[in-house]
Amino acid sequence: MTETAPILEVLDLRTHFFTQDGVTRAVDGVSFSLAPGETLGIVGESGCGKSVTALSILRLLPPKLSRIVGGRVVFEGTDLLTLHEPAMREIRGNRIAMIFQEPMTSLNPVLTIGEQIAEAVRIHQGASRKEALARAVEMLKLVRIPDAERRVGDYPHQFSGGMRQRVMIAMALSCNPKLLLADEPTTALDVTVQKQILRLMLELKERIGSAVILITHDLGVIAETAKRVVVMYAGRVVEQAEVTALFDAPLHPYTRGLMASIPRLKHNRTRRLAEIPGIVPDLRTPIPGCAFAPRCPLATDRCREAAPSLDDHGGGHFAACWEAGRA
Amino acid sequence: MTPVLEVDRLVKHFPILRGILRRPVAWVRAVDGVSFAIAPGETLCLVGESGCGKSTVARLVLRLDEPTGGAIRLDGTDVTGLDEREFAPFRRRVQMVFQDPYASLNPRLKVGQIVGEPLENYEGLRGKALEERVAGLLAKVGLRPEGVGRYPFEFSGGQRQRIGLARALALNPKLIVADEPVSALDVSVQAQVLNLMMDLQEEFGLAYLFVSHDLAVVEHIGHRIAVMYLGEIVEIGPKQVVLDEPKHPYTRALVAAAPIPDPRAKRDTLVLEGDVPSPLNPPAGCRFHTRCPFVMDRCREETPRLREVSPGRQAACHLLEA
């Protein structure tokens, strides 16, 4: 980790959903921090709370259904959770931008690409209509959309999936954000296009100097892009480490299980894949101990009774496990 | 040995209809001359990116769509011209498992009815005999017998895929066509289902036509791999040779693009530019020429044919002609 002050610090974040069937603890005490310009990967399976964490940072969750019930989100020294909505709007799309999984549903189908990119520039940077449109063309060139001057007047449906995700990146980076949240940005794309988009995103992030939080379920994408990784399970952080340390020697049994269960190309030719038995817990029931205990091969009574804290096991490799390092 | 499935120059063109007379104004060439065979007990994987026609091939084999041309032979019999009644005896030999375990099970039927339905229809089983067979099938796929009385929504995604497998197994098929059966599942659950499919293959001597976009999954479960691009097979052969030493530039690009879950891994730097062109007007010559880093003049004009490039492996590329 770097010595400079973090650009983002998430401290004991708790986000709950209030449904007819009870309270779902989607994010249950998540903490991590991010240095300026750093790429942090958040990895976990469906329902682990990785997307809700991102949406909580930007306060984009539906207010009637959900509430951030605790914690702090300190961005450039300010706790975003204390800001009024107008102040928050100044930050969204400007200092912090977000890219979503499905570019078709996150673009407005009745506005041209140019108008959508220009909107953010006009609102946040006070640019005139003409200046903003020129900026849109510039951004489209930056994300290598051929024939940008003409395509700026096209509608989202006239672009392919990969091109739309380029447009999303152009839009997100148009105000030179300090932090970019990318939630499964390439999951809807084909692999050959995924590779182009990930490269482009990392290259532009370097140029603009933004920090990136990349959220994904794909350990391969994490290994190829992130510098540091947060592993989430059932709304909690179970492990956090530098990417090489994590892949060389995962400490948490969940991370180990996850890594053993993925088929690897040209790697393991074993007949069977390791399985993680069972399924993820229901987050409507409070879990007093470790959330992974019911599926964990190392679980003891202590694991079922008390939740382990996220401790440093040396060299900035954190794990929340009573038995970390055993076996 | 007669292949369980043989597909010969299979073609499927979908019309684009316009105007009040619904005349076709263009054709989507989803599958354009695909041939392969699957031996009993073998897994052939069809891989490729969206729009390459891999799912259409699966649907044609299942007779969910009628082919525009070519032949589908099951155990040596051409079934392409058969009507539904003539096809019925073949139907039980070929079963299917779909991608979305939430959409492919009837939400209003109990699991016992879902798994038992093919047995009632084809074997006329009723009552106790039916119950026993269903319980046996559920046990085979690792579900508890109590599951019989529950509805699909009460199960997780992985368990639903097990239900789908139990239903597919009910009639002792020789071939199961599985279209992206694990893509909707989380990796830890994906491993459970892949292991189960391999166990079932061993126990029942099943053959699989396994459609997937995920090369790592395919390498794990497959015996042979066919790589498709814009409706055509560009390379086909035993999985090890195809994935370790891909001959076709597209196969190489696919392998290079698969993210490797190891930050220390050496990576092939080959990156393809652009997107897959529309199958509506596939490029002339080699269909891959618009994205191929090694394109030559000849590729733009002349369509390469599949030819044997190493024992048991064929590829369609002008570069490979000695």
User: How many domains in chain A?
Assistant: 1
Burial A20-38 (b: 16+ CB within 10 A, else e): eeeebbbbbbbbbbbbbbb
Mean pLDDT of B56-84: 93
**For chain A, what is the mean pLDDT?**
92
- Which residues from chain B sit within 8 angstroms of residue A161, using beta carbons? 275
Quote the pLDDT of residue A270.
61
Q: How far is B74 from chain A (nearest CA, A)?
A: 29
The span from the CA of A35 to the CA of A7, in Å, is 5
Q: Please judge whether A261 and B191 are an interchain contact, meaning their C-beta atoms are less than 8 angstroms apart.
A: yes
Predicted confidence band at A248 (pLDDT cuts at 50, 70, 90)?
very high
How many Cα atoms within 13 Å fall on the side-chain side of residue B287?
A: 22
The architecture of the domain spanning B5-93+174-187+204-276 is 3-Layer(aba) Sandwich (3.40)
Percent of chain B with pLDDT over 70: 100
The span from the CA of B9 to the CA of B36, in Å, is 9
Which among B186, B254, B264 has the least Cβ separation from residue A217? B186
**For chain B, what is the mean pLDDT?**
93
Q: Please judge whether B275 and A271 are an interchain contact, meaning their C-beta atoms are less than 8 angstroms apart.
A: no
- Which residues from chain A sit within 8 angstroms of residue B261, using beta carbons? 219-220, 222-223, 247, 259, 262, 264
The span from the CA of A150 to the CA of A107, in Å, is 18
Q: What are phi and psi of A16, to 5 degrees?
A: -115, 150
**Among the residues of chain B, which ranges form H helices?**
54-61, 84-91, 111-123, 127-140, 157-169, 187-204, 215-221, 239-244, 249-257, 297-301
Quote the pLDDT of residue A21.
83
Q: Please judge whether B188 and A276 are an interchain contact, meaning their C-beta atoms are less than 8 angstroms apart.
A: yes
Domain ranges of chain B: 5-93+174-187+204-276
Quote the pLDDT of residue A150.
92
Quote the pLDDT of residue A267.
62
| Distance set, CA B227 to CA A154, B50, B75, B232, B251 (Å) | 34, 12, 24, 8, 7
Quote the pLDDT of residue B322.
62
Residue A1 has pLDDT above 50, yes or no: no
Percent of chain A with pLDDT over 70: 96
Among chain A residues, CA nearest to B269: A195
Quote the pLDDT of residue B103.
87
Is the residue at A119 inside a domain?
yes
What's the pLDDT tens digit per position in B192-246? 999 999 999 999 999 999 999 999 999 999 999 999 999 999 999 999 999 999 9
Among chain B residues, CA nearest to A272: B195
How many Cα atoms within 13 Å fall on the side-chain side of residue B13?
A: 17
Residue A149 has pLDDT above 80, yes or no: yes
Predicted confidence band at A187 (pLDDT cuts at 50, 70, 90)?
confident
Mutate to test the interface with B, among A216, A265, A282 (most CBs of B within 10 A): A265
CB-based contact, B198 to chain A, within 8 Å: yes
The span from the CA of A68 to the CA of A186, in Å, is 28
Quote the pLDDT of residue A189.
86
Q: Please judge whether B188 and A275 are an interchain contact, meaning their C-beta atoms are less than 8 angstroms apart.
A: yes
Is the residue at A213 inside a domain?
yes
Close Cβ partners of B146 (under 8 Å, ≥ 6 residues apart) = none
Is the residue at A46 inside a domain?
yes
- Which residues from chain B sit within 8 angstroms of residue A243, using beta carbons? 263
Write the DSSP assignment of A217-254 as a string of letters: S-HHHHHHH-SEEEEEETTEEEEEEEHHHHHHS--SHH
Predicted confidence band at A2 (pLDDT cuts at 50, 70, 90)?
very low
Q: How far is B158 from chain A (nearest CA, A)?
A: 9
Q: Is B153 helix (H, G, I), strand (E, B) or coil?
A: helix
Structure tokens at A73: 């989100």
Residues 168-197 of B with CB under 8 A from A: 186-192, 194-195
Q: How far is B173 from chain A (nearest CA, A)?
A: 23
Q: Please judge whether A273 and B253 are an interchain contact, meaning their C-beta atoms are less than 8 angstroms apart.
A: no
- Which residues from chain A sit within 8 angstroms of residue B259, using beta carbons? 191, 194-195, 218, 220-221, 223-224
Residue A271 has pLDDT above 80, yes or no: no
Residue B130 has pLDDT above 80, yes or no: yes
Residue A102 has pLDDT above 90, yes or no: no
CB-based contact, B266 to chain A, within 8 Å: no
Q: How far is CA B156 from the centre of its chain?
A: 23
CATH number for the domain spanning A221: value is 3.40.50.300
Interface of A with B (CB under 8 A): 45-46, 160-163, 190-196, 199, 217-224, 243-244, 247-248, 257-259, 261-267, 271-276, 279
Predicted confidence band at A4 (pLDDT cuts at 50, 70, 90)?
confident
Is the residue at A297 inside a domain?
no
* More confident position, A46 or B168: B168
Quote the pLDDT of residue A244.
96
Which among A191, A217, A263 has the least Cβ separation from residue B220? A263
The answer to whether residues A239 and A255 touch, using CB atoms and an 8 Å cutoff, is: yes
Provide the ipTM: 0.83
Is the residue at A64 inside a domain?
yes
Mean pLDDT of A201-209: 93
Quote the pLDDT of residue A269.
58
Among chain B residues, CA nearest to A269: B220
Which among A196, A265, A279 has the least Cβ separation from residue B156? A279
- Which residues from chain B sit within 8 angstroms of residue A255, using beta carbons? none
Q: Please judge whether A247 and B264 are an interchain contact, meaning their C-beta atoms are less than 8 angstroms apart.
A: yes
- Which residues from chain B sit within 8 angstroms of residue A46, using beta carbons? 186
Which among A194, A267, A279 has the least Cβ separation from residue B257? A194
Q: How far is A126 from chain B (nearest CA, A)?
A: 34
Is the residue at A272 inside a domain?
no
Predicted confidence band at A326 (pLDDT cuts at 50, 70, 90)?
low
Count of residues for chain B? 322
Which residues face B8 on adjacent strands? B71
Structure tokens at A98: 């977000």
The span from the CA of B193 to the CA of B182, in Å, is 7
Is the residue at A280 inside a domain?
no
What's the pLDDT tens digit per position in A17-38? 998 888 999 999 999 999 999 9
What's the pLDDT tens digit per position in A103-135? 778 899 999 999 999 999 999 999 999 999 999
Q: Please judge whether A192 and B192 are an interchain contact, meaning their C-beta atoms are less than 8 angstroms apart.
A: no
Which among B50, B192, B276 has the least Cβ separation from residue A275? B192
Percent of chain A with pLDDT over 90: 76
Q: How far is A254 from chain B (nearest CA, A)?
A: 10
Q: Please judge whether B213 and A265 are an interchain contact, meaning their C-beta atoms are less than 8 angstroms apart.
A: no
Q: Please judge whether A263 and B194 are an interchain contact, meaning their C-beta atoms are less than 8 angstroms apart.
A: yes
Mutate to test the interface with B, among A45, A48, A195 (most CBs of B within 10 A): A195
Domain that holds residue A120: 8-233
- Which residues from chain A sit within 8 angstroms of residue B186, using beta carbons? 45-46, 217
